[in-house]
Chain A
């Protein structure tokens, strides 16, 4: 029984549930909510890499999300490009902009970095809003095509789009896990714990921070491109700073700096908000204080609290075990 409950089986079970979800729940609306939640999860994974693991609180990610969405929208609608080519380009463009912004922004530290990125995000929003000839300004972009077919696979139905987004989500989690468990991921964490110390032991902190920032913007771009191709209408609002605060909330509730945090937090908050419809506009009345309480009492969110509980339990058990062994030994000797 215990062997059945290990981590790998848990992941397989979750994946099975995710795959069977559209078949079990024959409800277009629920599927749509789930697709959106998955898209946000991808963006939050991006935010988690730079904010959670590298410890640099970036408040520009709504801007990068919007850049990804607008890049896809403009390349397909105005540029008439093939969907998947535009899709890849959207991610590349976002990451490229991330590189440029990161080069400058990451020279600043802590508070300055948060303020700087907040303002960069706002500038991206203002540019999208004011650059009427390119982005259509307030009116936004309409007629973004749905994802083009890949060989025999087409993405016209809601269910097929669900699987497409799920595929990218699983890919995201896989890639993030590989990064975090690699040496590179360790250097991220080293910088979060102490940038000066990391530099002292020979980590090229600027390079590593830049890498983490670019990867995180690439995920924001991916999420933005998926959003544009799923909703098929985008306006400048998707780049407004409140969106990054939403992402931050998902991340904090789930657990900043944990692998499962973005998934748990986003799904939980999105579903709570959906099931309590009256919360839609006023959700922050409840989630604002929750955010504050979590940061004070459970700074690593739900997943972090669970991990801590599990660790304490194993600690206690090993202690008990060694205690029992010790007593046995004494009895034998005596």
Chain B
């Protein structure tokens, strides 16, 4: 029984990270209908900037995360302006290739500047807690808490502010939003900024548990794609719930099925889903 609870806790930790990454991905998809393959690189940059801010500038963990959020959000806006904006009218194959170009560039950049080694991120919340026979580090709890707080803030932003409402409006109906006089450029930039910020938060929270290295975004982004397909491309609650389902499935699968193949679970899930429903679950008729 203890093992089960322990694994559920682990699943919630992993799921929190997945949900945050998938949220950014799904927001961008909802607005631009672009599967942003470079999102994993934003996640990686988030990890590195927090790490560098802590080790080189000697900032406190929270301040470092704040820096990382700002920098990665700006990077994401830059990406939208320089790459995705000019490609808005291009055939669908082009923006995917451009996204891959950005991904390759950012990874090579990280490797050049920070080296290819795996690096450990220090955290002020390393102590181990023992409650009811369950052991966990404070950091794990922080991941879950941080993710939930970010999601609540995002929810309030989207529901209670006008800028948030324009984002929702544009993801629901592009033409309708234009008719209402919504500035699509501003919405696109805003969406990219949020997506980058979420990736930075996810990476900064998860890195003390995992490690920081140039390829750290690969698996996370692949799984985020699985999640947004499970949750419906462009759906915000779908991304959150999907993230937690996948996180729990993986950590329980690792214990009760096979730890070698826990990564395969997500991908097998996607293959099965798309085999049965080629347009994804909950296809809304958007292309």
A binds B: yes
- A residues sitting closer than 8 Å to B (CB atoms) are 51, 55, 57, 104-105, 107-112, 114-116, 118-120, 122-123, 126, 130, 241, 245, 248-249, 252, 256, 281-285, 287-292, 295-296, 299
Q: Distance (Å) between the CB of B256 and the closest chain A CB?
A: 18
- Chain B interface mostly helix, strand, loop or mixed? helix
**Inter-chain contacts of B278 with A (CB < 8 A):** 107-109, 112
- Contact status A112-B271, CB under 8 Å: no
Residues on the B chain within 8 Å of A284, using CB:
104-105, 107-108
Q: Give Cα A54–Cα B87 distance, bound, in whole angstroms.
A: 20
A119-B226 in contact (CB<8A): yes
A241 to B98, CA, bound (A): 16
Q: How far is the CA of A127 from the CA of B274 in the complex (A)?
A: 20
Q: Bound complex: CA of A119 vs CA of B221, how far in Å?
A: 11
The minimal Cβ–Cβ distance linking B40 to chain A, given in whole angstroms, is 11
CA distance A123 to B265 in the complex (A): 10
- A20 nearest CB across to chain B (Å): 35
Q: Are A115 and B86 in contact (CB under 8 A)?
A: no
A296 to B105, CA, bound (A): 16
Which 5 residue pairs of A and B lie closest in terms of their CB atoms, listed nearest first?
A288-B105, A291-B101, A284-B108, A284-B104, A107-B278
In the assembled complex, which residues on chain B have CB atoms less than 8 Å from the CB atom of A249?
101, 104
Contact size range, B: 35 or more
Q: Looking across the interface, which residue of chain B has its beta carbon closest to that of A126? A: B264
0/1 per residue, B261-278, Cβ < 8 Å to A?
101100110110011001
User: Of all chain B residues, which has the CB nearest A130?
Assistant: B260
**How far in angstroms is the closest Cβ of chain A from B218?**
7
Instruction: Tell me whether B213 is interfacial, beta carbon within 8 Å.
Output: no
Residue of A nearest to B112 (CB): A282
- Which residues of chain B come closer than 8 Å to A252, judged between CB atoms? 97
Residue from A111, A256, A281 in contact with B111 in the complex, judged by beta carbons closer than 8 Å? A281
Q: Please encode chain B, from 17 to 56, with 1 for each CB lying within 8 Å of some chain A CB and 0 for all others.
A: 0000000000000000101000000000000000000000
Pair B261/A130 contact, Cβ less than 8 Å: yes
Report yes or no: B222 in contact with A288, Cβ–Cβ below 8 A. Answer: no
Within 8 Å by CB of B83, from A104, A110, A122, A296, lies A296
Separation of A91 and B98 alpha carbons in the complex (Å): 31
Q: Could you tell me the distance in whole angstroms from the C-beta of B134 to the nearest C-beta in chain A?
A: 31
B279 and A119 contacting across the interface, CB-CB below 8 Å: no
Q: Evaluate whether A123 and B264 lie within 8 angstroms (CB atoms) in the complex, with A108-B274, A283-B108 already known.
A: yes
Q: How far is the CA of A197 from the CA of B92 in the complex (A)?
A: 16
Q: Does B109 contact A (CB under 8 A)?
A: yes
Question: Which A residues are in CB contact (< 8 Å) with B267?
Answer: 119, 122-123, 126
* A289 touches which of B105, B261, B280 (Cβ 8 Å): B105
Q: Is the CB of B280 within 8 A of A112?
A: yes
Q: How far is the CB of A54 from chain B (nearest CB, A)?
A: 11
Please determine whether B104 and A123 come into contact, CB atoms closer than 8 angstroms.
no
Report how far A26 CA is from B98 CA in the complex, Å: 39
- Chain B residue nearest to A241 (CB atoms) is B218
Given contacts A104-B271, A104-B275, A292-B105, 12 further A-B contacts (CB under 8 A): A107-B275, A110-B92, A112-B278, A115-B35, A118-B222, A245-B104, A252-B97, A281-B112, A284-B104, A285-B109, A288-B101, A291-B104
